[in-house]
Amino acid sequence: MRHFTPRRGSAAIEFALTLPIWLGIIFALIDFGYLFYRYSALDNAANVGCRDGAIVDPGDTDQHIGLVIARASDRMREVLTALGDPDCLTCVFQAYTLGTPPQRSLVCVVTRDFEPMLGIFVGQRTLTTVQVARLEWQREAP
């Protein structure tokens, strides 16, 4: 014959002991998920902006290089707006060329201040992403 010992309240104690661990895991997932989402949005904006700017013709004597840079910067801003970040007041968009033909590239940099959603595991920081794309038009100036 088996005798059972009463276990009244043991489930509640086990729950109370493990609840902080589970809440910590959930809050960490929220904090890091939001951080990775914002970083991914910046990375995507730099990628698309650089690709779109790289196909603009800078001209024979680079007279249209301003158009290349403007197209890349405008497209980066458009992508962030489309991804749900229209009020990115702290975003800084930079685009510049690097090198000389036939190895000239367009470098796109997006930087923004990050404000965490919960702030328990991730603090305020500055997120920066860089994308480099080879310019399609590689002519040397005469």
List of residues 6+ apart from 37 with CB closer than 8 A: none
Mean pLDDT, range 63-77, rounded to an integer: 92
132: which strand partners?
107
Report the candidate in 102, 132, 118, 139 with the shortest Cα–Cα distance to residue 27: 118
Helix (H) or strand (E) run with residue 50 in it = helix 10-54
Q: Which domain holds residue 101?
A: 10-134
137: which strand partners?
none
Question: Does the structure show a pLDDT above 70 at 71?
Answer: yes
Amino acid letter, residue 52: D
Specify if 4 maps to a domain.
no
**What total of structural domains would you count in the chain?**
1
Does residue 86 have a cis peptide bond before it, meaning omega lies within 30 degrees of 0?
no
CB atoms within 10 A of CB 66: 11
Specify if 81 maps to a domain.
yes
- pLDDT at residue 58, rounded to an integer: 85
Least confident piece of the model among 8-22, 71-85, 86-100: 86-100
The model's confidence at residue 142, banded by pLDDT at 50, 70 and 90, is: low
Q: CB-based burial of residue 67 (10 Å sphere; 0-12 exposed, 13-18 middle, 19+ buried)?
A: middle
- pLDDT at residue 20, rounded to an integer: 95
- Across all residues in the chain, what is the average pLDDT? 88
Specify if 1 maps to a domain.
no
